[in-house]
Amino acid sequence: MTPVIWLLGLSGSGKTTLGSLVRLFLEGQGVETEFIDEDHFCRRAGLDGIAPGERITAINALRDQALQHHAQGRVCVVAATTPYSGMRQKNRENLPLYHEVWVRCSLQTLVNRDTRGLYAMAGQAHVPGLSGLTDRFDEPLHADHIIDTDRHDLAESYLILRNLALEALSMARRWNRLSHGLPAAVLPPTPARERCIAL
């Protein structure tokens, strides 16, 4: 069983860059890894609607894709805004060995940074549905890890995520050893399931 590392946060916080880097690291360690970027996935699947219901549908499809990679024995790294708390709860309920990482950056820093010009356009009502500005972003109350990218530079943020990924792999290997040979009825809950039960 392999972990799913789910990076969430506002647009421009660094999710995609960090996810790409940690995928390269894991593959360099010989770990079969799949990286799913929300924007690329949704464009390819025709799921780029901005209404709340459309965003939920897109995350449901992304979660299913992550499950497929997990079932095939790959570590899956996902970078997706995941703005609503209900989306995250469904992740916990459905993704074994789920690790939620909030890539946190203040809105003011993102507006100042605005590398893609999205926040400037949203301020002029040209980008409806931008999480944190023209659509809500529920604060992640139960994130397993937080990386503050307005306090840490890219190298520091990457090292934090790399260590989290190694920890997730170690946890998965311990669970696999513990559960080896046990019938399904007596298998211990995965770490993600234990956290879900505790919430």
Question: Is the pLDDT confidence value at 161 over 60?
Answer: yes
With cut-offs at 50, 70 and 90, classify the pLDDT of residue 130.
Answer: low
Whole-prediction pTM: 0.83
> Tell me: the pLDDT tens digits for 6-51?
999 998 899 999 999 999 999 999 999 999 999 899 889 888 777 7
Distances (CA, A) of 185 to 93, 95, 96, 142, 168: 18, 19, 16, 28, 24
Residue-wise pLDDT tens digits, 48-86: 777 788 889 999 999 999 999 999 999 999 999 999 999
56: alpha, beta or left, given left = phi > 0 and alpha = psi -120 to 50? alpha
Domain boundaries, the chain: 4-198
DSSP letter for 135, please. B
What is the per-residue pLDDT for 198?
45
Please state which CATH number belongs to domain 4-198: 3.40.50.300
Would you state the structure tokens that stand for residue 196, as one six-digit string? 């879900």
Query: Which residue do the tokens 């301020």 mark?
Result: 123
